[in-house]
């Protein structure tokens, strides 16, 4: 489902209810808005034409390969009679003829810590991106792509020093699963710290965020259960839902009318064929959606879950550490009670600059996951150095290191997000998402602009992540900017000047809601960072 689909059900420009004083919560200050500007018609038409041209050329090239006018460099289907093709036809067509042209924009090798700046290794190709060779040249650029929200992705300072000490004391790995002899005292401390941080009775921590979702959901629900999932949920949630064997129903992204309808229908109908009541009904949502920058409407979801006696599973991968006055995520941001969220999931790869994931819940749920989740039972326990990195960064966020460093980082992230968002909107770019989200997608739409945007910004010393189909709807290609507390005002200004130039050059300032205005920055700053 796309953001456009969301906006189709509403007015032309969709401003979420959060902007207006809510009828349900009249005393709440109306402040933040969550917007999805509709794709301008002309842009949509040109984008489809662009893809059309690429597809036509793709078929011509495929024909040339068939008749040996052009050498086939990709893997070929063996074409064995009676066998179905191994790869889906369109997927391999798309990869061969569209993705290959601009493959250099992805998988760039890095040679440094993924901090506010990053060193990219140069790659060269002599066969139009089919093969690439890494040279010894490195370029230092501003990193706008990593999920390093609080700036803990660093290779010096307290967290790094403590992680190194933990590694010296306990080694890199426990070389065993927690059920055998891999459970370290460090991991026990981490689990109780996480439970305390998010306000739950207990927590279990696992070595990988993806595996936390994909293996814990199947340990919680199974056949005869009903799982109601936001259509933009992350692949790990989708995989976990499918592996569980539960019946999965999907509702429109962050759309409470759709959620209520899906819940009501599922409960009225009961299980397929037998119409027996469901064993369990569980709603699965994320805190911040990483492709849209939208924030879950938690209060409304909690009301619905109570009304329909469902459970709530909340994935806070992007919101934990990045939202809320003390970094406790979307629950704190909306002033909700952690007791209203049955299962709180999160990852350590983003705000904590580490690795792994957690599930925080009541003790009996957590104990159940500890013994039944495949990632807990069959995978090695977490690395001591990684555990220490998480504990050190979490104690800084909580102020338990005796400094206000955590508060400073949280404030810096908030200021950076507000400043960057305002300037981007002023310049006339179409962006998606919530005002408080550190993820800011800028819409590029046309396939040719995906690569041009990435290349032009790289020339100006800025590395960005660009995303296109199939990760987004076909006409909604975008670039996803991730703000960090580690970005200095000077870095952000440099990115803004670069964006202003590239936006004009590639004609990306499409917004009708906020028509383009000149970038409001000191002339001296503009001149300092000017490229052209």
Ligand X SMILES: Cc1ncc(COP(=O)(O)O)c(C=O)c1O
Q: Which residues lie near ligand X (CB under 6 A)? A: 208-210, 213, 234, 236, 286, 290, 315, 317-318, 347, 349, 357
Interacting residues of 197 by C-beta distance below 8 A, sequence separation 6+: 328, 394, 397, 398
Q: How far is the CB of 205 from ligand X (least distance, A)?
A: 12
Q: How far is the CB of 520 from ligand X (least distance, A)?
A: 33
Instruction: Closer to ligand X by CB, 163 or 446: give it.
Output: 163
Q: Which of 518, 464, 509, 462 is nearest to 490 (CA)?
A: 462
Distance in angstroms (rounded) separating the CA atoms of residues 475 and 478: 9
166 close to 384: Cβ distance less than 8 angstroms: yes
Instruction: Closer to ligand X by CB, 229 or 290: give it.
Output: 290
Q: How far is the CB of 150 from ligand X (least distance, A)?
A: 15
Distance in angstroms (rounded) separating the CA atoms of residues 350 and 348: 6
Q: Read off the DSSP letter of residue 21.
A: P
Cα 448 to the chain's mean position, in Å? 24
Instruction: Closer to ligand X by CB, 204 or 491: give it.
Output: 204
Q: Which of 230, 343, 209 is nearest to 280 (CA)?
A: 343
Task: Select the residue whose beta carbon is closest to ligand X and give its number.
Answer: 209
Instruction: Closer to ligand X by CB, 289 or 529: give it.
Output: 289
The number of beta carbons lying within 10 Å of the beta carbon of residue 479 is: 27
The number of beta carbons lying within 10 Å of the beta carbon of residue 461 is: 17
Instruction: Closer to ligand X by CB, 15 or 239: give it.
Output: 239
Burial of 271 (0-12, 13-18, 19+ CB in 10 A): middle
Instruction: Closer to ligand X by CB, 388 or 511: give it.
Output: 388
Q: How far is the CB of 318 from ligand X (least distance, A)?
A: 6
Instruction: Closer to ligand X by CB, 190 or 317: give it.
Output: 317
> Cα 343–236–113 angle (5° rounding)?
100
Q: How far is the CB of 280 from ligand X (least distance, A)?
A: 21
203 close to 194: Cβ distance less than 8 angstroms: yes
Distance in angstroms (rounded) separating the CA atoms of residues 117 and 114: 7
Collapsing DSSP states into helix, strand and coil, what is residue 343? strand
Instruction: Closer to ligand X by CB, 348 or 529: give it.
Output: 348
Distance in angstroms (rounded) separating the CA atoms of residues 114 and 145: 9
Q: DSSP of 100-169, one letter per residue?
A: GGGGGGSS--B-S--SSEEEEEEEE-SSTTSS-EEEEEEEEEEE-SS--TTS---SSSHHHHHHHHHHHH
Q: How far is the CB of 213 from ligand X (least distance, A)?
A: 5
CA dihedral 234, 239, 244, 250 (to 10 degrees): 50
Instruction: Closer to ligand X by CB, 236 or 511: give it.
Output: 236
348 close to 354: Cβ distance less than 8 angstroms: yes
Q: How far is the CB of 462 from ligand X (least distance, A)?
A: 22
Distance in angstroms (rounded) separating the CA atoms of residues 162 and 160: 5
Q: How far is the CB of 357 from ligand X (least distance, A)?
A: 6
Q: How far is the CB of 214 from ligand X (least distance, A)?
A: 9
Cα 319 to the chain's mean position, in Å? 10
Q: How far is the CB of 346 from ligand X (least distance, A)?
A: 8
* N residues, the chain: 532
Residue 365 has phi, psi (to 5 degrees) of -65, -45
Instruction: Closer to ligand X by CB, 34 or 319: give it.
Output: 319
Q: How far is the CB of 11 from ligand X (least distance, A)?
A: 29
Instruction: Closer to ligand X by CB, 149 or 278: give it.
Output: 149
């Amino acid at each position: 489902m796309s953001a456009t689909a969301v906006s189709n059900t509403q007015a032309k420009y969709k401003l979420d209810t959060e902007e207006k004083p809510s009828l349900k919560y009249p005393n709440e200050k109306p402040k933040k808005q969550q917007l999805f500007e509709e794709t301008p018609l002309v842009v949509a038409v040109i984008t489809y034409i662009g893809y059309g041209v690429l597809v036509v050329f793709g078929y011509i090239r495929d024909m040339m390969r068939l008749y040996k006018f052009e050498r086939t460099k990709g893997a070929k289907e063996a074409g064995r009679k009676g066998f179905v093709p191994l790869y889906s036809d369109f997927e391999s067509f798309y990869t061969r003829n569209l993705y290959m042209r601009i493959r250099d924009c992805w998988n760039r090798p890095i040679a440094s810590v993924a901090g506010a700046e990053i060193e990219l290794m140069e790659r060269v190709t002599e066969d139009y991106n089919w093969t690439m060779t890494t040279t010894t040249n490195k370029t230092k650029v501003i990193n706008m792509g990593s999920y390093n929200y609080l700036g803990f992705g660093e290779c010096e300072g307290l967290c790094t020093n403590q992680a190194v000490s933990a590694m010296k004391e306990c080694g890199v790995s426990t070389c065993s699963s927690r059920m055998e002899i891999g459970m370290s005292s460090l991991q026990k401390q981490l689990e109780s710290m996480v439970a305390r941080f998010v306000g739950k009775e207990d927590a279990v921590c696992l070595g990988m965020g993806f595996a936390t979702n994909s293996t814990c959901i199947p340990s919680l629900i199974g056949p005869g259960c009903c799982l109601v999932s936001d259509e933009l949920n992350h692949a790990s949630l989708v995989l976990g839902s499918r592996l569980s064997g539960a019946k999965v129903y999907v509702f429109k992204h962050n759309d409470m009318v759709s959620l209520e309808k899906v819940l009501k229908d599922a409960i009225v109908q009961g299980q397929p064929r037998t119409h027996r009541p469901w064993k369990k009904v569980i709603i699965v949502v994320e805190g911040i959606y990483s492709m849209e920058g939208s924030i879950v409407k938690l209060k409304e979801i909690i009301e619905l879950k109570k009304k329909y006696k469902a459970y709530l599973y909340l994935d806070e991968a992007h919101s934990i550490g990045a939202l809320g006055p003390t970094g406790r995520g979307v629950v704190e941001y909306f002033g909700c009670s952690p007791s209203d969220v049955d299962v709180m999931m999160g990852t350590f790869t983003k705000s904590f600059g580490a690795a792994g994931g957690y599930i925080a819940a009541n003790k009996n749920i957590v104990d159940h996951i500890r013994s039944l989740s495949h990632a807990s039972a069959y995978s090695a326990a977490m690395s001591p150095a990684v555990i220490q990195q998480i504990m050190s960064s979490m104690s800084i966020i909580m102020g338990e290191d005796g400094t206000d460093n955590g508060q400073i980082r949280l404030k810096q992230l908030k200021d950076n997000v507000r400043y960057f968002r305002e300037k981007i909107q002023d310049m006339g770019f179409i962006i998606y998402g919530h005002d408080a989200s550190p993820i800011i997608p800028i819409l590029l739409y046309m396939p040719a602009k995906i690569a041009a945007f990435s290349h032009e910004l790289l020339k100006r010393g800025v590395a960005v992540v660009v995303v296109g189909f199939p990760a987004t709807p076909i006409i909604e290609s975008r670039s996803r900017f991730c703000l960090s507390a580690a970005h200095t005002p000077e870095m952000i200004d440099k990115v803004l000047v670069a964006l202003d130039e590239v936006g004009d050059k590639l004609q990306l300032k499409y917004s009708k809601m906020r028509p383009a205005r000149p970038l409001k920055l000191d002339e001296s700053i503009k001149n300092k960072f000017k490229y052209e």
